[in-house]
């Protein structure tokens, strides 16, 4: 009884390969381990060996053909056996292990053509067909949008000027497009004005204050250490203003018009800003998300936007939500002496983060006096003479001067409510691999898509989208997405968590290298934390990297680069790192994953 030869998965991001040469012919005898064909991806070219012995009875795909990972390319069986036809092979291959032993994926049905409804063809030819896989994402490969017929005032109108919108606008202008950005608020969006930048400015002040208080341990004496919350807030506002002015200057430098007012896409190729309508060949929705509220309380609580601009620090604060936003706010307020409590529904903080890393942060936070109320809900919140009384599902009551709700964000949908674009169950726009919605000429990026609520993800998606519009792109690999958290410790991660690796069924190993074994960390007095590498045991592929400790947010990019280039742990650890630096922590973690850490 024979079996199928499938296109192997040669790397974490590989989705398909091109057969460049067959090394055997139909009817040839094949031994296990013999090289049978050569394949090429956008990153590598390799010879593929057989896991079977027998006769090559059938070749399904020939030289020059591109084949999806795990789809059958040939059939090896016994003399006299009849090879199945391709349709049968495709169905049965789901149960087969591919040529490199990776777990198979379900084969996609024949591609379907997605087109916009007839009502969405203002000033355009027939909608551009989009080849879709079963997941709804366009298949990788060179692709470029077809510009609609007709005359338009703009080549592109971007709705929203956050890190996705303004970056996309600049890149489109660089490609020669006439671009406008519609913005109802402040240039820079949530990230610059109410998110990433102002929180990191407060975080930086909190760290400086913490370091000065701990200066005695470094042999430095400082008398009467104090801080001014008013000056801290003023510095934060100055940083935001400087960066906002910088973005405005970049838009002007690149000849991009800024349309002030609330924008709505009336229909494909028509955008209304305020009372005036503008035509555009393409529209890009980058409206982001706003703080969500799920708590039903007898008293009004503050959201995270409002908490950023407090004129005076409270003596105590209760934060509803132990996710990224909640943990970052807790670290800031606690550093300035505010009695801080986190109330979280899940049994641990940071549920999406690697459990070992999240537990390490929880331990650090509790060591700094932050109270964690986990696995409970806030059933009621009432105003009292003491401040706010938060009644928990456990029966306990937490009293605080201030309550901040940090339970996540919801999509900002007003710009496209009348468009009829497809959304998921939570209201986020559904997009394909090139960030196209199902409306002809309309793309969406950033938080509004629900893919990654990260500023750098929005920027990457924006560049991908406009390059697809005006240049054409080869594939769309933006899957290797790092994330960072700035709390009592910095956390940075890319790839799979250990829980995800375990659930995938892939044989994996884990290696951790502690900050305490690194010379530079010792000199800095930053010995808490570790770097954790998760490796595929079969091929040495780096599946995930997680860092918790000083400057983790800067260290993670090495892991992103290594995974993007599909370097093994051995190769990543074998590169020379300068000494003494924190980068050696990651080097040792890679070496340890390959069985050869030096300093532990």
What's the mean pLDDT when you consider all of the chain? 88
Backbone φ and ψ of 112, nearest 5°: -105, 150
* C-alpha span between 488 and 328 (Å, rounded): 8
Backbone φ and ψ of 206, nearest 5°: -65, -40
Given this model, what pLDDT does residue 130 score? Answer: 32
In this structure, what token pair is assigned to residue 297? Answer: 């309380």
Torsion of CA 130, 564, 354, 575, to 10 degrees: 180
Yes or no: say if 70 and 105 are a contact pair by the CB < 8 Å rule.
Answer: yes
Question: Which of these, 535, 523, 494, 512, lies nearest to 589 by C-alpha position?
Answer: 512
Beta-bridged to residue 76, according to DSSP, are 3, 56
Yes or no: say if 273 and 431 are a contact pair by the CB < 8 Å rule.
Answer: no
* C-alpha span between 406 and 325 (Å, rounded): 6
pLDDT band for 539, please (50, 70, 90 cuts).
confident
Yes or no: say if 283 and 266 are a contact pair by the CB < 8 Å rule.
Answer: no
Given this model, what pLDDT does residue 140 score? Answer: 45
Given this model, what pLDDT does residue 478 score? Answer: 81
Rounded to 10°, the helix 583-593/552-564 angle is 40
Classify the phi-psi angles of 306: left when phi > 0, otherwise alpha if psi is within -120 to 50, otherwise beta: alpha
Least confidently predicted of 7-11, 87-91, 169-173: 87-91
The residues, ordered by sequence, that sit 6+ positions from 117 with a Cβ below 8 Å of its Cβ are 420
- Strands 54-59 and 45-49, how do they pair? unpaired
In this structure, what token pair is assigned to residue 36? Answer: 């049978």
The residue that leads in pLDDT, 65 or 137, is 65
Given this model, what pLDDT does residue 107 score? Answer: 32
Torsion of CA 486, 502, 430, 11, to 10 degrees: 100
| DSSP helix, strand, coil percent of the chain (3-state; round to 5) | 30, 30, 45
Q: Where are the alpha helices (DSSP H) in 105-151?
A: none
Query: What is the model's pTM?
Result: 0.80
Least confidently predicted of 131-140, 181-190, 491-500, 530-539: 131-140
Given this model, what pLDDT does residue 167 score? Answer: 98
Judge whether 143-291+409-478 and 302-407 match in fold.
Answer: yes
Q: Is the pLDDT of residue 449 over 90?
A: yes
Q: Where are the alpha helices (DSSP H) in 101-227?
A: 165-174, 189-194, 196-213
The b-or-e profile of 501-531 (16+ CB within 10 A means b, else e) is beeeebebbbbbbbbebbebbeebebebbbb
Given this model, what pLDDT does residue 596 score? Answer: 85
Q: Is the pLDDT of residue 340 over 60?
A: yes
In this structure, what token pair is assigned to residue 223? Answer: 């008398």
Which pLDDT tens digit goes with each residue over 263-320? 999 999 999 999 999 999 999 999 999 888 877 777 788 999 999 999 999 999 999 9
C-alpha to C-alpha distances, 11 to 140, 142, 434, 486, nearest whole angstrom:
15, 20, 21, 31
Which pLDDT tens digit goes with each residue over 568-579? 999 999 999 999
Which pLDDT tens digit goes with each residue over 195-240? 999 999 999 999 999 999 999 999 999 988 999 999 999 999 999 9
Which pLDDT tens digit goes with each residue over 502-522? 999 999 999 999 999 999 999
pLDDT band for 477, please (50, 70, 90 cuts).
low
Q: Is the pLDDT of residue 184 over 60?
A: yes
* C-alpha span between 239 and 233 (Å, rounded): 10
* C-alpha span between 588 and 237 (Å, rounded): 40
* C-alpha span between 88 and 479 (Å, rounded): 32
The answer regarding whether domain 3-95 maps to CATH 2.40.50.100 reads yes
pLDDT band for 353, please (50, 70, 90 cuts).
very high
Beta-bridged to residue 39, according to DSSP, are 19, 46
DSSP H or E run through 373: strand 371-374
C-alpha to C-alpha distances, 146 to 137, 194, 469, 576, nearest whole angstrom:
18, 37, 8, 46
Least confidently predicted of 300-314, 319-333, 339-353: 300-314
Which pLDDT tens digit goes with each residue over 383-398? 988 899 999 999 999 9
Which pLDDT tens digit goes with each residue over 439-448? 999 999 999 9
Topology (CATH) of 489-593: Enolase-like; domain 1 (3.30.390)
Helix (H/G/I), strand (E/B), else coil: 90:
helix
* Maximum alpha-carbon separation in the chain: 91
Q: Which residues are catalytic?
A: 579
Question: In the chain, what percentage of residues exceed pLDDT 70?
Answer: 90
DSSP H or E run through 5: strand 3-6
Backbone φ and ψ of 182, nearest 5°: -95, 130
The correct CATH number of 302-407 out of 3.40.50.150, 3.50.50.60, 2.40.70.10, 3.40.50.300 is 3.50.50.60
Q: Name which CATH class applies to 143-291+409-478.
A: alpha beta
Which pLDDT tens digit goes with each residue over 114-134? 333 333 322 333 333 333 332
Q: Where are the domains of the chain?
A: 3-95, 143-291+409-478, 302-407, 489-593
């Amino acid at each position: 009884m024979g079996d199928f030869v499938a296109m192997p998965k040669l790397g974490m991001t590989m989705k398909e390969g091109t057969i460049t040469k067959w090394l055997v012919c139909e009817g040839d005898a094949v031994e296990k381990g013999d090289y049978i064909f050569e394949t090429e991806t956008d990153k590598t070219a390799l010879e593929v060996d057989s896991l079977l012995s027998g006769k090559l009875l059938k070749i399904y795909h020939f030289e020059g053909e591109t084949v999806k990972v795990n789809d059958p390319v040939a059939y090896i069986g016994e003399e006299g056996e009849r090879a199945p036809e391709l349709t049968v092979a495709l169905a049965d291959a789901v149960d087969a292990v591919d040529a490199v032993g990776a777990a198979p994926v379900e084969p996609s049905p024949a591609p379907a053509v997605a087109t916009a409804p007839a009502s969405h063809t203002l000033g355009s030819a027939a909608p551009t067909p989009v080849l879709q896989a079963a997941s709804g994402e366009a298949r990788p490969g060179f692709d470029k949008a077809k510009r609609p017929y007709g005359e338009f005032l703009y080549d592109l109108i971007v709705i929203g000027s956050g890190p996705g919108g303004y970056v996309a606008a600049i890149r489109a202008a660089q490609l020669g497009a006439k671009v406008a950005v519609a913005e109802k608020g402040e240039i820079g969006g949530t990230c610059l004005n109410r998110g990433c930048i102002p929180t990191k400015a407060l975080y930086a002040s909190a760290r400086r204050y913490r370091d000065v208080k701990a200066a005695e341990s470094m042999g430095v004496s400082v008398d009467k250490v104090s801080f001014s919350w008013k000056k801290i807030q003023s510095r934060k506002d100055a940083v935001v203003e400087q960066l906002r002015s910088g973005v405005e200057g970049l838009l002007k430098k690149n000849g991009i018009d800024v349309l002030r007012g609330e924008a709505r896409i009336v229909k494909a190729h028509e955008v209304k800003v305020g009372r005036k309508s503008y035509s555009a060949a393409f529209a890009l929705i980058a409206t982001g998300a706003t703080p969500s509220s799920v708590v039903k309380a007898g008293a009004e609580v503050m959201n995270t936007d409002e908490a950023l601009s407090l004129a005076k620090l409270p003596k105590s604060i209760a934060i509803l939500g132990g996710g990224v936003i909640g943990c970052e706010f807790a670290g800031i307020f606690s550093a300035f002496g505010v009695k801080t409590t986190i109330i979280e529904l899940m049994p641990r903080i940071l549920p999406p983060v690697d459990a070992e890393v999240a537990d390490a942060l929880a331990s650090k936070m509790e060591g700094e006096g932050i109270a964690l109320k986990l696995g409970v809900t806030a059933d009621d919140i009432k105003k009292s003479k003491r401040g706010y009384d938060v009644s928990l599902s456990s029966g306990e009551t937490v009293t605080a001067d201030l309550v901040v709700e940090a339970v996540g964000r919801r999509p900002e949908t007003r710009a496209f409510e009348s468009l009829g674009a497809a959304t998921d169950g939570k209201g986020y726009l559904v997009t394909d691999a090139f960030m196209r919605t199902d409306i002809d000429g309309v793309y969406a990026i950033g938080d509004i898509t629900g893919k990654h609520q990260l500023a750098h993800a929005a920027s990457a998606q924006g560049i991908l989208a406009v390059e697809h519009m005006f240049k054409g792109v080869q594939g769309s690999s933006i899957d290797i997405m790092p994330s960072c958290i700035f709390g009592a410790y910095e956390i940075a991660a890319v790839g799979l968590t250990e829980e995800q690796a375990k659930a995938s069924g892939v044989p994996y190993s884990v290696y951790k290298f502690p900050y305490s074994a690194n010379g530079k960390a010792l000199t800095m007095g930053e010995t808490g934390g570790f770097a954790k590498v998760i490796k595929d045991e079969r091929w040495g592929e780096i599946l995930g990297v997680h860092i918790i400790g000083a400057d983790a947010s800067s260290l993670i990019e090495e892991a992103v680069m290594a995974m993007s280039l599909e370097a093994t742990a051995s190769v990543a650890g074998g590169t020379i790192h300068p000494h003494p630096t924190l980068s050696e922590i990651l080097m040792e973690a890679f070496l340890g994953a390959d069985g050869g850490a030096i300093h532990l």
